[in-house]
Chain A
Amino acid sequence: MNTLHAPGFPEAEVRDRAARGAAAVFPPTNRYGTAVFGEDPDDRYGGDALDAMRLVPPVFMPHRLARLIELGREPLFSDVSLECRFGGMRSPVPVYVSALGSTRVAADGVDLARQAGRIGLPMVIGENVAPMNGFRPERDAQHKTLSARIQAYTEELPDGVGGVCVQQSTEDADTEVWNFLYSDPVVEPLLSSGRLAFELKTGQGAKPGLGGLTLVDDATAERLGGRFAVESLGEDGPLLRCASPGTFTEEILRQQVHLIRNNYPRAHCWVKLPPARDVAEAAEVAWRAGAAAVTVDGAEGGTGWAPSGFLRHVGLPLAQVLRRIGTPAGDLLASGRVWEGTRTAKLLASGAAAAGLGRAALLAVSEDPEAGLCRLIDALALELRMLTSAVGHYDVTRLSSDDLWSPHD
């Protein structure tokens, strides 16, 4: 029934959480009392530098004492506050749904939007959703549209939390995605409550240096031919629609941020950076120009179609991206292989204000279009509370590099 797969990603675990929720944080309950558990011995997913890090609780916990005094009892993990604010939006957990582009697997966007809205998770909508799939619902394409996603999201959204961030890349500028949205009635409830952001996309996590790549059929290729390069992959092979990554210099990035702030004063400005070698300098330029958030993808992230060589050999891993940025000068949002609480906690401790769910969110919705993402977040939130209290904090935003140990230390 489920046709969505994520090779190299802990798909079975994500699907388990999407089905069982917080119960899946623990080993199967039918093995309770009959088996012993230790570290996963075979590290099935290869792991990266973030996986190799460990969260390390201290013995002495002054923050726990402060919370104890406040509560008049020993604090528990359930006393941990996960509420936070990033990129101008509030969220019940330090998590957002990262951009899902026009790739066919992102067609579940409406179900995903509905669940993200219900939870109040900020959600990024990827580039090319508009030029590829159109703005307005049309008979057979109605679930693919940008407006449909936003409408589904806002219909479920509680007051005061969440928000939508819409990307625009170089080709999107031709279709004026942001200009269109800024006056679209569907967006008005978000705009009037400060919950709309526009994200300037400067590159892709899965394929830094390249623009968006999508397989399209002949008819779509013909329709898009004027705006995108279309490449045939061999004789009678599939057609590859290629977007340009856009050209950036420090001044171009700075001025594009200025222009977003100038043109859309009621929207927040986010900037997405690829895992590039000068990511720290670029983030600095973006924050200094007034970006409310900078999002970074590790080279291990991304939902889009990418050449295998790029997936394996191009771009910085997320841990290195965060190391290069160091102490962020503004809100830093990070994504790449995030699906559970420990990686989220490590990202927060490494300087991120929130972690982005990409593939995990898609898989969860694929597992259960009604509640898969909600359950995945329940499980993640439980873990995050446990981890945060374990290192002696009762506010998730207090996680810091002191709570981390790296084998390289």
Chain B
Amino acid sequence: MTMQSVLSRVDTETHPLPTPRDHITSERTRSMIRIQQALLAGAREALAREGAVELLHPVIGPVTDPGSRGAKQVDVDYYGNRYKLMTSSILYKQTSLLAFDRIFLIAPNVRLEPIETSSTRRHLTEFHQIDVELAGATRDDAMAVAERLVRHAVATVVDRHSGLLESLGRDPEVLSAFAARPFGRVTHAEVVTELHRIGHSQSTGTEIEWDAEELISSTANGPFFVTDYPKGSRGFYDRENPEEASRLLNFDLIAPEGCGELCSGSEREYEYAKIVTRMRETGENPAKYAWYLDVIRQGIPASAGFGIGLERLTRWVAGLDSVWEANAYPKLPGVVSP
């Protein structure tokens, strides 16, 4: 049996990364960055209308979102202690609701995703999220905010940069039409049933696989929500439906045109005993979450929230072929790059 280089599985012919100089100086990248800035401006406007306060959150900490789907965390030596780069801000998002009822942040995240994700066209190891958390909100409330946010961000881009969109080959009217329709809503179970109907294998108890997600995205006529994922597929903080065991009160927002997931969100677990139990169900050692559990034990507000992948949103809005094009210094899983 021969040993292979891990990089041999990253198909550099299908996914060529330009040199850093070529990428940052290309007109396409400049257009992308301007569009991304408009998306962020639109998102901030939309969230200000919702009454959310923008916070700046830690980049490192003793513990971070354990995530799922096999992504490794990055360890940092912090004065002899093992710290982590944030994979998401979920722990801080929940505890920050002790300061304000509605918060958001534009947060950098690092996840060493499995090498196999290098070919999905929608995974970066370093990316940003528009993170939102709303005290006292239900899942429906959070989905409504996410929908308004995306619609307003898209409208801002179309309003300010329709010329840039056209220069990238993106028809602003097509984009506007996508965003104007009410976002659809299907359950995870309905998606699985549909996938089985068309002969696509998909486990009922796991995440929708990458190729299946691309498939359902490519046949959609606009962004849509997938709700009620099974419990074993998500982190401990997605709230279990009290009326339907093993189903989570969560959602993903899927973009059309094969772009796939833009956003994940949920109602949150917020009760101490429930969170500790859910940590065990996700194989976590509660001891390492000491600071977070100390805060939770004294009580935090019930909440719902979500995180929108900024590069993924940019990719869809700008009509880019792959998510790496939506980052000035992209890092693909398994590829050593600046």
Residues of A that sit less than 8 Å from B by CB: 151, 154-155, 157-159, 168, 170-171, 173-174, 176, 178-180, 182-186, 188-189, 192, 200, 226, 244, 246-248, 251-252, 254-266, 289-290
Contact = CB atoms under 8 A, between A and B. Distances in A.
Contacts of A151: 3
B200 interface: no
B9 interface: yes
B206 interface: yes
Interface of B: 1-6, 9, 68-73, 81, 112-116, 203, 205-207, 209, 230-233, 277, 280-285, 288, 333-334
Contacts of A174: 285, 288
A289 B204 CA distance: 11
A188 B3 CA distance: 8
A252 B282 CA distance: 8
B70 A257 contact: no
A299 B302 CA distance: 46
Nearest to A162: B1
Nearest to B334: A183
Contacts of B70: 178-179, 182-183, 263-264
Contact of B281 (A179, A226, A252): A252
Contacts of B4: 185, 188-189, 192
17 contacts: A157-B1, A173-B283, A174-B288, A183-B70, A183-B113, A188-B4, A188-B115, A200-B283, A252-B280, A256-B232, A257-B232, A259-B68, A259-B232, A259-B281, A262-B205, A262-B207, A263-B69
A248 B288 CA distance: 18
Contacts, number: 111
A170 B333 CA distance: 27
Given A183-B334, A252-B277, A290-B205, A262 B3 contact: no
A154 B1 contact: yes
A262 B233 contact: yes
B280 A262 contact: no
Nearest to B112: A183
Contacts of B205: 258, 261-262, 289-290
Contact of B116 (A200, A266, A289): A266
Nearest to A186: B3
A248 B69 CA distance: 22
A258 B230 contact: yes
B111 to A, nearest CB: 10
Contacts of B72: 176, 179-180, 182-183
Contact of B232 (A159, A178, A261): A261
A248 B232 CA distance: 15
A189 B115 CA distance: 13
A169 to B, nearest CB: 9
Contacts of A185: 3-6
A41 B203 CA distance: 55
Given A188-B3, A258-B230, A265-B209, 8 more contacts: A158-B1, A168-B283, A170-B285, A192-B4, A255-B231, A255-B281, A262-B68, A266-B116
Contacts of A200: 283
Contacts of A170: 283, 285
Nearest to A257: B232
A132 B5 CA distance: 27
B115 A262 contact: no
Contacts of A157: 1
A202 to B, nearest CB: 11
Given A261-B203, A264-B70, A189 B114 contact: no
A261 B333 contact: no
Contacts of B231: 255, 258
A251 B246 CA distance: 9
Contact of B333 (A183, A244, A265): A183
Residue with the greatest number of chain B CB neighbours at <10 A, chosen from A178, A183, A192: A183
